[in-house]
Structure 1
Amino acid sequence: MNLKQFLWASALISISFACSDSGDEKPLGKYESGILIMNEGNFGTNDGEVYHLNPNTQELLPNIFEAENARPFAGLLEDMVLEADRLYLVANTGKVEIVNPGDFKSSGAVVADLDQPRSLAVNGSKLFISDYGPYDDNYGTPDSYIAVVNGLDGGVVSKKIEVSNKPEDLFAHGNYIIVAGSEENKIEIIDATQEAVVTTLDLEASPRQFYAEDGVLWVYAVAADEVIFYTVNLSSLTLGTSYTVPVANATSRIAFDGDDEMYVLTSSGWPDYNDAVVSIDIEGNAATVTELMTGSGFYGIGFDDERDQIYVSNSNGFQGNGTVTVLSESGSVIKTFEAGRGPSGFLVY
């Protein structure tokens, strides 16, 4: 599972002990419960980092990658992916750092032959990394790809699979990797053994995030004045039902509550930046849209399923550190606290 598959709110682990391969119980590591806050960092200074929040004690630990590895992360954080007892920190400045989720100690990396990584998925013993590829002279990305790495602890890129422009989220299912091709409105399906695209599904909006529930893969897609939730039947890898919801200026930022509610960030963009937190409830063929909060500078969103709380981050224009506001499901402000530079996502254990 990853931040984007669970749309910035991963499944909550409510037990206080983890089981080892021998069947014995061992205490969870220092960072294996609570909330990880992904701070993207500032372009140019590449100071992305991860904070850890204990929501029970309110203890906030900053810069835990640097604290545990005695070196800065030194990149712009794009995604955090929890897979196969490893946490993958994807930097769109050209690398993936791999850490143990319990103590945040580095266990490997992919540091070469990447351009602008966006997300990652694990299939068997392989890593698949979505990458915009290099910019051309017009800042287009005609050479986007999915990078393949043989080994869960990183290493070298063994192959680059050509895909449509600007691939975003990835989802692993069976022997397949499902790719959200955001610029050309496509879902591309890769055979993980052949390491090639075998099926393409055309959409009417730009797919950004995946979320799997009860054998159905939800696809969150964005158009100018609406969002569309597509479903993909995972047994046949075909499109199912679609739900169109009138939400203007939706961004790629969304969180699911694990049940039937979605929380989306909208923004009018430059120069006004009229932003909002919107709740979407789909029941049958009807959708209810409720505006919960308005403001400026909203940058990330997540959901704490145990406490039924929404986490909304604000970049504060990248002028110093950002902030995080915690909301109730009705939109009431519970608290606000300072985070790192450009907080953009949350991983809730």
Structure 2
Amino acid sequence: MNKNLFNQSVLVGFCLSSIFLTSCTDDDSGGNTLEPKGAYEKGVLIVNEGNFQKGNGAICFFDKQNKTVVENVFLTENNRPLGDVVQSATIHNDRAYVVVNNSNKIEIADANTFKSLGVINNLQMPRYLVVANNKGYLTEWVSYSSKGRVSIIDLTTNAVTKSLEVGKLPEKLLVLNNKVYVTNSGDNTLSVINSTSDAIETTLPVGDSPNSLTVDAANKLWILCSGQKNYNSDYSIDENTSTPGSLVRINPSTQAIEATLTFTSKSLSPDDLVINGSKNKLYYRYNGKVFQQDIAAATLTTTAFLNRNFYGIDVDPSDNLIYGADAGTFTANGKVVRFNPSGSAVDSFTVSILPSEFIFK
């Protein structure tokens, strides 16, 4: 999901060595102090969707050092809920941009205190946000049947300045080399936006229903595709007309597809592609399990890394612990289970309803 910390080792050394100093601050040039920015400055934010039309979506905060959880930090700090279906969150310049899908808005809060800083309203089925050149790029489905769009937001004024039509049901997106790559999950394409001109440079064909993407250590782009699923009258999947999922690698310098690794099943859909801190191991959900894929492998792994059915996964880049979001009954509070890089469970903790995504601060 964009969390940079300043190195203040010189300042800390000065403060510790001075016997006259009663408080440690920067000089008069206006730099940051060593005082904490807020209760939620360092830790993990967990996105909890909540139930559709119930307005109980939430952001939870996990303190990794003390292993404590604060549930629903936005409600705690502002005395009002986030809204209906919290889809995703992005941190930029100490601001949290929380996309609330069915409420058609983005809630903006201080990322360290979670005090409200504003709202962007009148969106149309918003999904995910990334930031480039101090502009937000937001995917919006608009409708289930028509093409979606990417709306460009001036993060100084919080105003939508431009909207670009992309493919159907645009989902996750990523910034790489001054370009914004958008997965069009209702099609089989990737839209590429130039973040300087804010124009669509090209549309790349990939596998059917791309849903997530990441960048590896070699600066290659990986896209996970669910495959097209068609149904018979009894709601079973029509194997004759459906297509399998795929994992696609693209060279962003040439925009050429370098590899396509195809799944065997036409009825199962891989989802939720993420990568570890070293950027050499891919992880995704498939067939009710979590799989780990080496970026150098020429074929898809057939052995599950975790035999757990999670609603969402991610990897903390600082220690490579794997976080699994367990939705449980989908109506009560869920939980998060953490695993070490070898796949052994470390611990677990309770969060809110339908945990789905993680932001590591």
* Offset, 1:99: 1.6
Residue 228 of structure 1 is matched in structure 2 by 247
* Offset, 1:198: 2.7
Q: Is the 8 A contact 2:277 2:320 kept in 1?
A: no
* Offset, 1:215: 6.9
Match of 1:328 among 318, 325, 340: 340
Of structures 1 and 2, the one scoring higher in RCO (CA 8 A, sep 6+) is 1
Q: Tell me the distance in 1 between the aligned counterparts of 2:84 and 2:47.
A: 12
Q: Is the 8 A contact 2:226 2:270 kept in 1?
A: no
Q: Quick one: which amino acid aligns to residue 289 of structure 2?
A: A
Q: Is the 8 A contact 2:206 2:248 kept in 1?
A: no
Residue 278 of structure 1 is matched in structure 2 by 291
User: What secondary structure sits across from 1:108 in the alignment?
Assistant: strand
The verdict on how the C-alpha distance between 1:283 and 1:220 changes in structure 2, with shifts beyond 3 A counting, is: same
* Offset, 1:23: 4.2
Residue 188 of structure 1 is matched in structure 2 by 191
List aligned pairs for 1:42-61, cutoff 5 A.
42-61=51-70
Residue 242 of structure 1 is matched in structure 2 by 259
Moved more, 339-348 or 196-205: 196-205
Q: Is the 8 A contact 1:191 1:197 kept in 2?
A: yes
* Offset, 1:186: 0.9
* Offset, 1:161: 1.6
TM-score normalised by L of structure 2 = 0.80
Q: Tell me the distance in 1 between the aligned counterparts of 2:203 and 2:69.
A: 44
May I ask how many residue pairs the two structures share in their alignment?
324
Q: Is the 8 A contact 1:107 1:153 kept in 2?
A: no
Residue 95 of structure 1 is matched in structure 2 by 105
Q: Tell me the distance in 2 between the aligned counterparts of 1:194 and 1:141.
A: 28
Q: Tell me the distance in 1 between the aligned counterparts of 2:325 and 2:153.
A: 32
* Offset, 1:127: 2.3
Structure 1, unaligned runs of 5 or more? 3-9, 135-139, 268-274
Q: Tell me the distance in 1 between the aligned counterparts of 2:4 and 2:210.
A: 25
User: What secondary structure sits across from 2:303 in the alignment?
Assistant: strand
Q: Quick one: which amino acid aligns to residue 285 of structure 2?
A: L
User: What secondary structure sits across from 1:337 in the alignment?
Assistant: strand
Q: Quick one: which amino acid aligns to residue 302 of structure 1?
A: D
Pair 1:177-2:180 in alignment: yes
Match of 1:26 among 24, 34, 44: 34
Pair 1:314-2:334 in alignment: no
* Offset, 1:320: 0.9
Question: Percent identity between the aligned chains?
Answer: 25
Q: Is the 8 A contact 2:277 2:316 kept in 1?
A: no
* Offset, 1:243: 4.5
Structure (1/2) with the larger strand percentage: 1
The verdict on how the C-alpha distance between 1:174 and 1:142 changes in structure 2, with shifts beyond 3 A counting, is: same
The verdict on how the C-alpha distance between 1:109 and 1:153 changes in structure 2, with shifts beyond 3 A counting, is: farther
* Offset, 1:172: 3.2
Larger radius of gyration: 2
Q: Tell me the distance in 2 between the aligned counterparts of 1:65 and 1:295.
A: 30
Q: Is the 8 A contact 1:12 1:305 kept in 2?
A: no
Q: Tell me the distance in 1 between the aligned counterparts of 2:3 and 2:300.
A: 24
User: What secondary structure sits across from 1:67 in the alignment?
Assistant: helix
Q: Is the 8 A contact 1:12 1:306 kept in 2?
A: no
User: What secondary structure sits across from 2:76 in the alignment?
Assistant: helix
Pair 1:131-2:136 in alignment: no
The verdict on how the C-alpha distance between 1:174 and 1:286 changes in structure 2, with shifts beyond 3 A counting, is: closer
Residue 152 of structure 2 is matched in structure 1 by 148
CA-based RMSD of the aligned residues comes to 2.9
Q: Tell me the distance in 2 between the aligned counterparts of 1:207 and 1:196.
A: 21
Structure 2, unaligned runs of 5 or more? 12-25, 228-243
Q: Quick one: which amino acid aligns to residue 147 of structure 1?
A: S
Residue 211 of structure 2 is matched in structure 1 by 208
List aligned pairs for 1:48-127, cutoff 5 A.
48-93=57-102, 94-112=104-122, 114-127=123-136
The verdict on how the C-alpha distance between 1:251 and 1:77 changes in structure 2, with shifts beyond 3 A counting, is: farther
Q: Tell me the distance in 2 between the aligned counterparts of 1:14 and 1:209.
A: 30
